[in-house]
Structure 1
Amino acid sequence: MEQISTMEKLFTVIDNTATILKEELSCSYLEAVAETGENLFQGTILQEEVSELSKKRLEKEYSQVKLERHSVEEIRKAYQLAALKGMKEATQPNHQMTPDAVAIFMGYLVSKFTEKQKEFTIFDPAVGTGNLLTTVLNQTGTKDVEAYGIDVDDLLLKLAYVSANLQQHSIQFYNQDSLQPLYIDPVDVVVCDLPVGYYPNDIGAAGYNLRAKEGHSYAHHLFIEQSLKYTKAGGYLLFLVPNHLFTSDQAADLNAYLKEHSVIQGMIQLPLSLFKDEKAAKSIFILQKKGIEVNVPKQALLVDLPKFSNKAAMSGIINQIDAWFKKEK
């Protein structure tokens, strides 16, 4: 029989306690995951309406966990696994999570682009549950990183906030529409799994260069423009974009805007096997905001990733990417 990993044990406690709280508080499983995460972080049961019997059951479960014995990655994975379970139960289409392997790979890329910086600021304008942002932060090592996350969905933001606390990351979160004026200063790095689709607020879109000439504008185009606005000159932006980004009816406008304001550093196509439907396939799109010392790479980083499980092929790709960084950076 396989030994249960420490991450799985932690997930089991989160899952069991969330299930108890879901019944006691008459809330969704996803809301209960946020509540139980708060309890774990505070080391006490915060919900006053919980019955004495359930309180004893919760205390028994929590007593099995010593957070300081877990790595930040174990905590992140266990908590996100519970959030993922909750999202599958919910039917809201915006409740999607960046696949772990992709988030880890984006973290590797951010660490490469910020290699020479002792400290930097980072921002995710569609932070969701915080999985992408905290995965990236977990790979920055000892660097001093100031992080920001914004999301319009208050439940997802609460999950992100609790997850960040459990992993001991200091992230400033804002619950707002990221396509409206923001409360943050420009940052060194933007990471974002772009929300794909139409932005329903035509009045809010009116101030954007990439607004549609008629009808609703593409939210993912506006997110790119907004992100560039809140990036320092010379800063990097790493987006998860749909593969059809440059074949849409508004692609010419996007192309012209990117040429004016940024330098394309690379496009890394993710393995199609990651996506149920080929039409939903995505790539990592890497931009650098134009600035005085920004040079156009002799050759952009163009890569088709193999399956992440193919270790030999992935190792070859990593060597290829490392060689590109030595040559271009």
Structure 2
Amino acid sequence: MKATNVESLFGLMDEAITLLQTEVELTYIEALSETLENLSFEAKAQQVEGLPSIEAVERLNSLYKKMNLDALDKEIIRKSIQLTFIKATKEDKLQMNHQMTPDTIAYLIAYFIGEIKKDKTEKLHVSDLAAGTGNLLNIVVAHLTSRGNEVTAEAVDNDDLLISVAANSGALLGFSEKIHYTHSDSLQELLIAPSDIVVSDFPIGYYPVNERAKNYQTAFPEGNSFAHFLMFEQNVNYLKESGWGIFIVPSDIFETDKSSVLMGWLKENVHIQAFLSLPADLFHKNGMKKSIIIVQKIGEKSLQAEQVLLGEIPDLKNAQKMQSFLDIFHNWSAKMI
């Protein structure tokens, strides 16, 4: 039976991934990456040095055909891929920095961008320098495209499996001509165009390459520097003057004994327009609580909002409170931006 919804498509994808995983002795995410690559290129299984077996190739091709991707809504495909990655996260015990940005947060960021960039005819270039599987960028690009904007984008990540998942997911979602994918350490010099908007769910922790970190003003004088400080600076480096950055950061980013390093740099380079705490129940550990920060790169057309929007985003499941919050953001952006 052919796939018709998220549940049936995920079931077929999971069966294909598990079969490939067993046949070729791969981790789940490795098999997911190869499955998406097969689906992106003529939906046919590839055999290398006799693996997978002829019988497995035939079974995989049958599963691919049943997936019926050409006839399915792109959102069904995106959500099904998301479910397979969530399974990979659990089965392969992926590190925190490799986990996918949740839909709820990604859609919220897409809404913020829509309120900030009100012109639906404007050509926009968007980038994510810690793209991971591409879920955040895919949702932002889809949102802006659906309302009429002509959108191009850059996705960069230093993990080969994650950027492969992102690129092949993008191909299945019809974004091959919109999004350019780069496998690179984002803190190296990048051959990408400056963006109107940058979004990112920053990796948290220490950056191990001190020789490269010393090129950044947010680096520490001694020892390893915070990756999220360096990523903040690098994202702004690839913003056009007066462009906008919307980032997911640790809620305590301005409360550590090293925060003065970041604050000093921010004051010289961006206007902080909003800092909004995400609901605590989105995170397993209180120490991992995160917030969304909205900044504008200083330029001729930039303007510091008279009132920086500070506060907490309510429980995303509470429709009434969320609508009230969205109204507050809409009114604030109309007056301040």
User: Would you call these one fold, judging by a TM-score over 0.5?
Assistant: yes
| Whole-angstrom distance in 2 between the partners of 1:46 and 1:10 | 17
For 1:318, the equivalent position in structure 2 comes to: 326
In structure 1, give the amino acid aligned to 2:152.
E
Per-residue deviation at 1:56?
Answer: 2.9
Bigger mean CA deviation after superposition, 165-174 or 82-91: 82-91
For 2:303, the equivalent position in structure 1 comes to: 295
Contact 2:45-2:61 at 8 Å conserved across structures? no
- Partner deviation per Cα, 1:91-148 (whole Å, 9 max, x = no partner): 3423211112111111111222222252111111111111111111121113211110
| Whole-angstrom distance in 1 between the partners of 2:52 and 2:137 | 33
Computed over aligned residues only, the root mean square deviation of the Cα atoms, in angstroms, reads 1.5
1:162 aligns with 2:190: no
Cα distance change of structure 1 residues 101 and 5 upon mapping to structure 2, 3 Å threshold:
farther
1:121 aligns with 2:95: no
Contact 2:220-2:261 at 8 Å conserved across structures? no
| Whole-angstrom distance in 2 between the partners of 1:158 and 1:62 | 19
In structure 1, give the amino acid aligned to 2:173.
Q
Contact 1:14-1:37 at 8 Å conserved across structures? no
For 1:66, the equivalent position in structure 2 comes to: 68
TM-score (norm 1): 0.95
Per-residue deviation at 1:5?
Answer: 7.2
| Whole-angstrom distance in 2 between the partners of 1:46 and 1:139 | 32
Contact 1:152-1:176 at 8 Å conserved across structures? yes
- Partner deviation per Cα, 1:191-244 (whole Å, 9 max, x = no partner): 000011111111001111111021111110000111111100010000100011
Secondary structure, aligned partner of 2:276 = strand
For 1:41, the equivalent position in structure 2 comes to: 40
Bigger mean CA deviation after superposition, 102-111 or 193-202: 102-111
Gapped runs of 5+ residues in structure 1? none
In structure 2, give the amino acid aligned to 1:212.
F
For 1:112, the equivalent position in structure 2 comes to: 115
81, 84, 90: which one pairs with 1:82?
84
Per-residue deviation at 1:165?
Answer: 0.5
Which stretches of structure 1, 4 residues or more, deviate above 4 A after TM superposition?
none
In structure 2, give the amino acid aligned to 1:321.
F
Bigger mean CA deviation after superposition, 264-273 or 46-55: 46-55
Secondary structure, aligned partner of 2:143 = coil
For 1:16, the equivalent position in structure 2 comes to: 15
| Whole-angstrom distance in 1 between the partners of 2:94 and 2:279 | 26
In structure 2, give the amino acid aligned to 1:319.
D
For 2:152, the equivalent position in structure 1 comes to: 146
Gapped runs of 5+ residues in structure 2? none
- Partner deviation per Cα, 1:234-274 (whole Å, 9 max, x = no partner): 10000100011001111112112111110011011100010
- Partner deviation per Cα, 1:142-197 (whole Å, 9 max, x = no partner): 32111101111101110001110010113111111111111112111110000111
| Whole-angstrom distance in 1 between the partners of 2:271 and 2:260 | 16
207, 221, 231: which one pairs with 1:199?
207
Identical aligned residues as a percent:
36
Bigger mean CA deviation after superposition, 94-103 or 37-46: 37-46
Bigger mean CA deviation after superposition, 45-54 or 78-87: 45-54
